[in-house]
Amino acid sequence: MELKIKTIADSSAALRGKSLSKAICEVECLWPKLKKGQRDGKTLGGKVQRTRIEDIIKNIPFFAYLNEKEISEFKEQIIEKQFMKNQLVIHDGEISKYFYIIFSGKVKVIQLSAEGKERTLAIHKEGEFFGEIGMLDGGTTPATVIALEKAQIGLITKAVFNRYLFNSNEALKEIVIMLCGVLRDSWSMMKLMSFADAERKVKAVLNLMATKLGVSVPDGMLIDMKISHSDIANFASLTRETATRVINRLEKAKEIEITAKFILLKPAFYKNIDHL
């Protein structure tokens, strides 16, 4: 029998009527059991995982035009690597050698200030990709990428990337659309950084995370990732102490609920949020 891996984000319909604690159990209890094949740094194998990888490739817009034979050939040229939590994937300033596809887990994209303070720029999850800019312009990597949790990532060399990408007008159109998305994300981050008020910054960060990682549950929008106060502070360019004060205030106002580092955005959170 084929095993279908689920996360909260994959099964929002199944969560209707469940409490927050039960929804969190989907992540904390079910997911580790289903991922028991990930251990000792080994890549996952077998029919289920290979099928999953094919599905992920098909859902990347500029590879969606590939036929079954091309997808099979492309897949065989992917270098699969396991990264443990907090392990460096690529460092800011490195020459870009690969295009990266996330087959499982999550990564964060960060920059370090001259003082060594970390600023989070983005979070990428299963099915998403990064490293495309370096593949296109041949420049160095503009940011550092670190695994947020145990992650399986596919590495595609520049030669393979170019071979499958630049022979299709459809793929080139998708690249333009993708670059527009990158620009929009940059504008969103610039807008977030322009807020002088700490609460607006924190709420904007939580709203962005919910947009990217959220799943609807009976009591609101659950962010499908464990988030610490430091994570939020780094994303919002605030001190951890300031972020903690804001988070405590939002909890007291019943705008958010936190259980085991999972954050639920309640209906009150979304009142008067149009200004974010």
d(CA 206, CA 243): 12
Look up the CATH number of the domain holding residue 102.
Answer: 2.60.120.10
The pLDDT of residue 256 = 95
Regarding whether 137 and 55 lie in a shared domain, the answer is: yes
Regarding whether 248 and 210 lie in a shared domain, the answer is: yes
The pLDDT of residue 45 = 40
50 lies in some domain: yes
What angle, 0 to 180 degrees and rounded to 10, lies between the N-to-C axes of helices 169-194 and 198-213?
A: 150
105 lies in some domain: yes
119 lies in some domain: yes
The pLDDT of residue 29 = 52
β-partners of residue 155 are 79, 100
Regarding whether 50 and 161 lie in a shared domain, the answer is: yes
The pLDDT of residue 116 = 74
Threshold 0.75, pTM exceeds = no
Regarding whether 156 and 111 lie in a shared domain, the answer is: yes
Pairing of strands 118-124, 107-112: antiparallel
* Domain C-terminal end among 152, 167, 182: 167
Residue 9 CA, chain-centre distance (Å), reads 12
Regarding whether 140 and 78 lie in a shared domain, the answer is: yes
Tens of pLDDT, residue by residue over 196-205, are 789 999 999 9
Regarding whether 211 and 149 lie in a shared domain, the answer is: no
130 lies in some domain: yes
Regarding whether 163 and 50 lie in a shared domain, the answer is: yes
Beta carbons of 110 and 144 less than 8 angstroms apart: yes
Regarding whether 65 and 132 lie in a shared domain, the answer is: yes
How many structural domains does the chain have? 2
The pLDDT of residue 62 = 82
The pLDDT of residue 232 = 93
- From start to end of 131-233, where are the E strands? 144-147, 151-157, 214-217, 220-223
d(CA 37, CA 114): 40
Regarding whether 224 and 160 lie in a shared domain, the answer is: no
The pLDDT of residue 263 = 94
d(CA 144, CA 116): 13
188 lies in some domain: no
What angle, 0 to 180 degrees and rounded to 10, lies between the N-to-C axes of helices 68-76 and 46-58?
A: 110
Regarding whether 223 and 156 lie in a shared domain, the answer is: no
Residues of the chain below pLDDT 50: 1-17, 30-48
Regarding whether 137 and 75 lie in a shared domain, the answer is: yes
- Residue 82 domain boundaries: 45-167
Tens of pLDDT, residue by residue over 154-173, are 999 999 988 888 777 777 77
175 lies in some domain: no
d(CA 36, CA 28): 13
Beta carbons of 74 and 164 less than 8 angstroms apart: yes
Token pair 């420049």 is at which residue? 139
The pLDDT of residue 82 = 95
Residue 22 one-letter amino acid: K
Contacts of 119 (CB under 8 A, 6+ apart): 110, 111, 112, 113, 234, 235, 237
